[in-house]
């Protein structure tokens, strides 16, 4: 049987990767792997274990030993750390910055990239993240990079957080800009557009327009 394709969707925070990858996976009948959620889970586990986010050695050991999985619950893909559903716990502003901090450490990235490759080795997956098309699956059959103006990305994030986010728009924008710098300038696996990726600016596009643009460019068997 022919191996099903791997589709990667990379881009900065707020570009629309999560919503687009969910809809794309549903439309194409594929499994979605949220690599960013995996780094958030490491940040959460480290906080709970009292491991500083700048201790790369201990963070790497933590990441290698983590029982991390994605499970479908009532039609929604949830993130589990051991037997605990941490899907909400990892979506706070603190864990967003924590994910960026822990992802800068080579031991952490090596541990999670190995897990991501294992999850997607059979194909038929949509991977969402920042280095899925450049590092995790550089030979993926279809690669996309979503981007948008920083002000728009911050507004999307601000609306997503809602009142529970306890941050002003200006604070969210500041976080987005800081994360952009950190993710794009780190030494290991920096955020960048793969040479063979399709670049899509989502600043003025609706979600369904982005999904349609991607579907048009997928391998024939997935359309």
Q: Is the pTM of this model over 0.75?
A: yes
The reported pLDDT for the residue numbered 188 is: 81
- The DSSP line for 88-131 is TGGGSHHHHHHHHHHTTSHHHHHHHHHHHHHHHTTS-EEEEESS
Give how far the C-alpha of residue 84 lies from the chain's centroid of Cα atoms, to the nearest Å: 20
Q: How far apart are the first and last CA of the chain?
A: 19
CATH classification number, 6-66+92-213, choose in 3.30.1050.10, 3.40.50.300, 3.20.20.70, 3.40.50.1370: 3.40.50.300
pLDDT digits (tens, 9 = 90+) for 57-83: 999 999 999 999 988 888 778 999 999
Tell me the C-alpha distance between 125 and 90, whole Å.
22
Domain boundaries along the sequence of the chain: 6-66+92-213
Which helix H or strand E contains 174, and what residues bound it? helix 169-185
Tell me the C-alpha distance between 80 and 84, whole Å.
5
- What is the CB-side half-sphere exposure of residue 16 using CA atoms within 13 A? 24
- Residue 190, CA distances (Å) to 137, 160, 178 in order: 15, 25, 14
pLDDT digits (tens, 9 = 90+) for 98-151: 998 999 899 999 999 999 999 998 899 999 999 999 999 999 999 999 999 999
List of residues 6+ apart from 49 with CB closer than 8 A: 62
The answer to whether the beta carbons of residues 72 and 118 sit under 8 Å apart is no
């Amino acid at each position: 049987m022919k191996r099903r394709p791997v589709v990667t969707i990379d881009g900065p925070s707020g570009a629309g990767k999560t919503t687009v990858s969910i809809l794309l996976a549903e439309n194409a009948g594929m499994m979605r792997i949220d690599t960013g959620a995996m780094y958030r889970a490491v940040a959460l586990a480290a906080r709970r274990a009292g491991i500083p986010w700048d201790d790369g050695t201990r963070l790497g050991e933590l990441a290698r030993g983590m029982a991390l999985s994605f499970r479908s619950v009532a039609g929604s893909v949830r993130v589990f750390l051991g037997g605990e559903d941490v899907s909400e716990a990892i979506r706070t502003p603190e864990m967003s910055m924590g994910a960026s901090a822990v992802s800068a450490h080579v031991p952490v990235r090596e541990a999670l990239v190995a897990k991501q490759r294992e999850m997607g080795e059979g194909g038929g997956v949509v991977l969402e993240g920042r280095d899925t098309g450049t590092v995790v699956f550089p030979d993926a059959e279809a690669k996309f990079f979503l981007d948008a103006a920083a002000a728009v990305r911050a507004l999307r994030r601000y609306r997503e957080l809602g009142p529970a986010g306890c941050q002003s728009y200006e604070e969210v924008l500041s976080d987005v800009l800081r994360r952009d710098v950190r993710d794009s300038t780190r030494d290991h696996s920096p955020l960048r557009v793969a040479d063979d990726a399709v670049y899509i600016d989502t600043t003025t596009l609706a979600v369904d327009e982005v999904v349609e643009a991607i579907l048009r460019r997928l391998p024939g068997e997935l359309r």
